[in-house]
Chains A and B, each alone.
Chain A
């Protein structure tokens, strides 16, 4: 269980990561804002609490594996990795530039700590399931490395997603935990309108997964869900994380137009202003 102190620490970290996302997107002049901001709390929780990893030794064999399937939200992955010590925070400003390790979509070969390249949607669950199955082949129920698959709601419209979900159910991959960014937006509008997923929990359940739902900004609830998932030995678990796209920047929140747009200078200044005020509030509450 997370202590009050740890929660405050994580909240502050998530705030810094949100600021870094804005600071990276501004000079990039292209890229995605809504998804990354919405997933900042969850990525903070993993990179600064749950994940077994060593930023100074990204190839450490016993590390947990992170598969980011919806590669376009990489600004939150890069910012989390930078703050965790994988590379200098300053480097975030090279996002999407020629020669940068921080490619527009994650590149496994170029940046240590990236387990797989992504961007084309819908192939994350299967890759994570492959990793989980390989580990179970060698270690059975005692496999201790966790395989975390981060997915988006939009990409659950891809057939490949459901092939992977069916597969993981068949092999009872207890070491696999999927986290879905259920923010109800995609490029052209609300997921509900473009191609509805509901009843989503029932779909996963009928594919033999254990299903949990949380508020994706409630660190305590996220922690409880992840801890609970560790106790499930007979199936893979999915956490449907309800998040607010653009979370923390008032004019971006819940607006699908911000799916694939970066802030301009004025918008970035306003976003950073809001985030700095939020930072003060977190600090003063300590």
Chain B
């Protein structure tokens, strides 16, 4: 059942559940943060509207900077502006930032400890018809490996707005992962949000058999899988892991202790992503069987977003399969 304490969207199981692109929440969040804090600047590389930074750019043209198609310039200019007291948000597609400019981010933002937020939109396979060159499936790994870097992957546009506003206040090097396609709204304005805090979105009556840890738009598929299995008598908790780094290790360990079996779900390569972070955490504390739902060491291709989610085995049925498999392993 839905965790009643979190005031999630009651229409979550309906076919007509409201949908919005996660990137939209970033756009409205940056606008709101920009109103409150004059040190915030927006910097973009020819993708202002795609990444939804146009809302900020239109309202605050004097605080908006256009670098052209130049992602290395994007983040290094941001580092320089941060050094002079600004709080820069940079945006592009995840494939190009942090995909193209990783070392510049490492040295001039993370190593330098400059408060720059790197916003990578159009992450994941659900980018769709643009194809494999544009589907960032490695960005969580790229950012997670950097000491000091905060990594957020919100589950819907409402949470993305809160994440953006929280990052504006935090003023630390951070990566915010966004998706292009519209996806179901899971949370509400009332749902609490805190960087570094995991939340159980799907609760169980009694001790859970399996714990599912998910991030991004796939949290909805994970919820549906848990809902389906609940009817079959399998008790599944679903944890929304909006902050991949710093990981809420206490929550992860508690879930593993309760369930003794974990499934991770992400629109990312298995190597180095959320699943990797959970495996690192549990291997060092309480080794627990884990099944990983995500992309298994291959590139994406053109196709419709939902078609690709199914094709690359991240659909609801693949999550229920993974849950059953990990239950078997648990014995």
Contacts and interface: CB of A to CB of B under 8 A. Distances in A.
Interface string A161-182: 0000000000000000000000
Interface stretch (A94-102, A141-149, A231-239): A94-102
A88 interface: no
A103 B46 contact: no
Given A104-B302, A186-B46, A188-B48, A195 B67 contact: yes
A16 B303 CA distance: 27
A159 B130 CA distance: 23
A146 to B, nearest CB: 26
B129 interface: yes
Given A98-B301, A98-B303, A98-B311, A195 B66 contact: yes
Interface in B129-151: 129-134
Main secondary structure of the interface of B (DSSP, over half): loop
B230 interface: no
A118 interface: yes
Interface string A92-124: 000011111001110100000000011111100
B146 to A, nearest CB: 21
Contacts of B66: 188, 194-195
B302 A100 contact: yes
A9 interface: no
A29 B307 CA distance: 15
A178 B78 CA distance: 32
A194 B46 contact: yes
B308 A98 contact: yes
6 contacts: A107-B131, A154-B46, A154-B68, A158-B71, A188-B48, A188-B66
A155 interface: yes
B323 interface: no
Given A122-B69, A157-B69, 17 more contacts: A28-B129, A98-B301, A98-B311, A100-B302, A103-B301, A104-B129, A104-B130, A107-B301, A118-B133, A154-B69, A157-B67, A157-B68, A187-B47, A187-B50, A188-B48, A195-B46, A195-B67
Interface of B: 46-50, 66-73, 95-96, 99-100, 128-134, 301-304, 307-308, 311
B128 A30 contact: yes
A194 B47 CA distance: 11
Contacts of B95: 120
Contacts of A38: none
A97 B304 CA distance: 7
A194 B68 contact: yes
B72 A103 contact: no
B68 A96 contact: no
Contact of B69 (A96, A97, A155): A155
A31 interface: yes
B124 to A, nearest CB: 15
A263 interface: no
Contacts of B301: 98-99, 103, 107
Contacts of A98: 301-304, 307-308, 311
Nearest to B100: A120
A181 to B, nearest CB: 14
Contacts of A155: 69
A245 interface: no
B132 A107 contact: yes
B129 A30 contact: yes
B131 A105 contact: yes
Nearest to A196: B68
Contacts of B132: 103, 105, 107
B47 A195 contact: no
B100 to A, nearest CB: 7
